[in-house]
Amino acid sequence: MNGEEEPALKSGSSYLYTDKGVARAYEVFKRLLSEGRRGLVITRTHPNRVQQLHGLDCPVMWIAKSTKPTGVMSLEPTRLMKIHSTVSDFIKANPGSAVLLDGLEYLITENGFGPVMKAIQLTNEEVAMTGSFLLVPVDPRTLETQQLGFLEREFSLPDDRGKQSESP
């Protein structure tokens, strides 16, 4: 982490990573796992590639339209409630756990912003109730200004040292 002190995260919070998004989110996720937390990754990147890059000891699920790939757990991008229930079931069974959702842009492309935002809001409520962590990297260049604003309002920003973004 380049000698910088990583801000403490608050359990029961969801974090949006826009600066150095994916790499930083995975670093924080790995740190949470090293603290003994259970973890789940839901990603647009093939799980074998995620394991090569990050060496995680946790389930990795692939957001993919492909028919069920052999040996890979996958979720269809258009089944938002299935994605939500997968996260919900995991964090209810493992309170205080960490979930990394890498592929928000793809979900928005497949479903539109509104339905994805509603699913995120529902998931955030359950993250709060279970004392878990949700980490979501996103490239702000892929979103409209208003969409990014909605996301920043819904998530804590890690640079704010765990404080919820304030409305203007």
Q: Which of 53, 49, 15 has the alpha carbon at shortest distance from 32?
A: 15
Least confident of 14-23, 128-137, 140-149: 14-23
pLDDT band at residue 167 under the 50/70/90 scheme: very low
**In this predicted structure, what is the pLDDT of residue 2?**
45
Residue 161 has pLDDT above 50, yes or no: no
Residue 166 has pLDDT above 60, yes or no: no
Cα separation of 157 and 76, whole Å?
A: 28
Residue 3 has pLDDT above 60, yes or no: no
Q: What are phi and psi of 61, to 5 degrees?
A: -110, 140
Domains, the chain: 13-156 (3.40.50.300)
What mean pLDDT value characterizes the chain? 89
* Cβ pair 118, 155 in contact under 8 A: no
Cα separation of 137 and 162, whole Å?
A: 16
Condensed to tens digits (0 to 9), the pLDDT of residues 135-160 reads: 999 999 999 999 999 999 999 988 64
Strands (E), the chain: 13-17, 39-43, 60-63, 73-75, 98-102, 133-137
Q: Which residues in 64-95 are b (16+ Cβ under 10 Å) and which e?
A: beeeeeeeeebbebeebeebbebbbebbeebe
Q: What is the pTM of this model?
A: 0.89
123 Cβ neighbours under 8 A, 6+ residues apart: 14, 84, 87, 88, 134
**In this predicted structure, what is the pLDDT of residue 112?**
98
Cα separation of 86 and 167, whole Å?
A: 31
Range list of H helices, 94-144: 104-111, 113-130
> What percentage of the chain has pLDDT greater than the value 90?
79
**In this predicted structure, what is the pLDDT of residue 159?**
62
> What percentage of the chain has pLDDT greater than the value 70?
88
Residue 1 has pLDDT above 80, yes or no: no
**In this predicted structure, what is the pLDDT of residue 19?**
78
Task: Residue count of the chain, please give it.
Answer: 168
**In this predicted structure, what is the pLDDT of residue 67?**
66
What is the four-CA torsion angle of 40, 90, 72, 61, rounded to 10 degrees?
-50
pLDDT band at residue 8 under the 50/70/90 scheme: confident
